[in-house]
Every structure is written in structure tokens, then in C-alpha cells.
Amino acid sequence: MGKWKTWLGVAISAAAIAWAARGVEWSEVIPALADADPWLLVLVFVTSPFVNILVRALRWKVFLRPVARVSFAGATSATAIGLMANNVLPARVGEFVRAWALGRKERVPVATSFGGLFLERLFDGFAVVGLLYALTWVHEFPDWVSTTVQVAFFIFLGALAFLVGLIIHPEMSVRFARAVAGRLSGGRLEEPVERILATLLDGFRLLRNPVLVLVSVILALSQWVLLTGLYWLGLIAFGVIDGVGWVGAFFVNCVATLGVAVPSSPGFVGTFEAFIVKALEVFEVDRTRAFTYAIGFHAVSFIPTTLVGFAVFLREGFSWGELERSEEEVEEELEEEFEEEIARDVSQDRPGGDSR
């Protein structure tokens, strides 16, 4: 993990928190936090780990079903540890930690785990973009919202089309991706792109099963509806619900989700607050109230997931050094699996080789 990634995230977080706090009446922040409904915040605190960990683990299990029979307990354990790592370690290393932890517990190839995670994020993107698009039909948003939704929709549609092509015609799709990457990078990215696609291909097999695709879409939408419920409870707890309602809760959830994809410090500090403040501006929520809601909801929704992940981490007996080295280990395992795949292809192409 390069130090530049860490410092870049810190710099972006600092800039984001400075923007979000601009114009905030600090004398009103502490009283507003103290006046929040404690029972609703406790409800968010208790239910957040279930929505963030259990539902996501079930989705990952479904994604991996065509290529690996993973136990729900194993997927849950790896997901909890990975989300905890995302909240306390830089550069979103939690995605590597999830694949690494599942491989240690279930003996699933890292490439397969990563393919499932890639699909999970892709379905997340479609769920968010789909929800945003639906919101534009029931509420009038600024032009920047409609433009963002349209651009994001076509990006994800193109990604899905390419993945379907990769499943149906893998060799042709890999050659196409290699050619495009080579043209855009002057040839520097041809081999890395081919390496990534060839290695992760097993994890994409779910797309061949229409029933599992439908189940995955339903689970993705269900998770985002449940997450929106948490945002809605938070809006009520901090007295920001008037004029925002369910439409605003969905919108804030979607915008915050897109926001935390931006590089930041561990726990998405700064970017989370900035994008929530920006989202609530659409509903003309006072900046001080929006900022107070952002930092309060951030705490009660992220802390419990982190605590549960840390508890699972201790129960599994992993060391902190193993987590910090997981990115390097995963990259090494991906390299080894790619080389094994190439060796099998060469063996099968030889005269007399096993072509089964």
C-alpha cells in the first residue's frame, strides 16, 4: 500500500470536511446533537450492522454460488472484517481483506472472491442509479442531478453489457478490452487488463443464471431500501425530516453512497459529510442542521459496524499485521492463479494435451 494513497485520502477528506463545515454555526451543533432522539439513534446503532453486514454477506454468497458453495457464516465473518478494515485502514483495503478473510476461512480462490465482489459493487451501482432515476420521476431535482444520473446509468449499462459479453464470448471480449486499453494507454495497460479479466472470470459466472441474477437484483434493491430506512430514522431523530421525507432519505442515501466511492481517509470522514450536506441542500435544509445530521448519523451508523467487525476479527484469531499485509498477499495469489490459468491453457493447446 503506497503512502501516497493514504495522504491523498487524507487531503481529500480535509478538503471535504472544510467545505461541508463552511458557514456552519458551531454554537448550534452541540445542542442539536444533544437534542436528537436517543431512542431512534439507538435503533439505528443496533440495526446498522445487520443491514450492512448480514444482507451484504447473503448477497456475496449468492454471487459465489455458481462457482463455490460458501457458508453464510463464512461470508458474514469475512464481510464484517472487511467492512471494519474499510473504516479503520486507508485506501479501501477492506475489499482485499474481505477476499483474503474468506479465502482463509472457506478456502475459496481469491480470484473467485474478487469476481463476486466486483459483481456486488456493480449491482450496488445499478441499484443506486436505478433508485436515483426513479426519484427523478416523483420529484423535481436540479439539472446536475439529472445529468449525473444519466451519465452514471450509461456507464453502468456499458459495464453490464461488457460483462455479459465476457461470459458469452470470453476470448473475444478480452481481446476487445485489451485493444481498447492499449489504445488509450499507449500499450501500457494491455497486459494488466487481460490479466485482471482472465483471473476474475470465474467470479462472473452468476451472469449465466437468470434466476440468480434476478435474486441478486432483488437483494441489492432490498439492501438499499433498508439502508434508506436507517437514513430516514436519522433524519427524524435530528429533526430534519420536514420537507425531506422518504424521497429525501432515498436521495441522501444514494448521493452519500456515490460520495464514499471518492478516495478519502479511513471511515470516509469528510466525504460522507460533504455529500450529505450537498444532498440536503436540494431540499433547502439549513447547512448547520445538515452538517449536524451528517456527523451524528455517520457516528451511529459506522461505529457499530466497525465494532462488530473488530469483535469478529478477534474471534477469528487474525493478527493486525495480517490485515495490513492482506493487499500484498491477495495480489500475489491473484498473480499465481493467473499464471496457473495460462499454464492450463498452454497445456490444453499442445498436441495430445488433455482438452476436457
Characterize 312-333 residue by residue with b for buried, 16 or more Cβ atoms within 10 angstroms of its Cβ, and e for exposed. bbeeeebeeeebeebbebbeeb
Largest CA distance in the chain: 80
Backbone angles phi, psi at 262, to 5 degrees: -70, 140
* Cell numbers linked to 100: 483474503
Q: Which residue has the higher pLDDT, 154 or 239?
A: 239
Q: Which residue has the higher pLDDT, 1 or 203?
A: 203
Residues 254-261, mean pLDDT to the nearest whole number: 87
Residues 249-267, mean pLDDT to the nearest whole number: 88
Q: Is the pLDDT of residue 355 over 50?
A: no
| One-letter identity of residue 214 | L
- The band of 351, judged by pLDDT with boundaries at 50, 70 and 90, is very low
Residues 91-114, mean pLDDT to the nearest whole number: 83
* 71: nearest Cα among 100, 108, 96, 97: 108
How much is the mean pLDDT over the chain?
Answer: 85
CB 240 within 8 A of CB 280: yes
Specify the range with the lowest mean pLDDT, choosing from 108-112, 242-246, 349-353: 349-353
Q: Which residue has the higher pLDDT, 21 or 9?
A: 21
* 271: nearest Cα among 33, 22, 11, 4: 11
Specify the range with the lowest mean pLDDT, choosing from 52-66, 119-133, 147-161, 187-201: 187-201
Specify the range with the lowest mean pLDDT, choosing from 27-36, 134-143, 159-168: 159-168
Share of the chain above pLDDT 90, in %: 42
Q: Is the pLDDT of residue 334 over 80?
A: no
pLDDT score at 91: 65
Instruction: Report the predicted TM-score, pTM, of the whole model to 2 decimal places.
Output: 0.86
Residues 246-268, mean pLDDT to the nearest whole number: 89
**Domain extent listing, the chain:** 3-344
Q: Is the pLDDT of residue 81 over 80?
A: yes
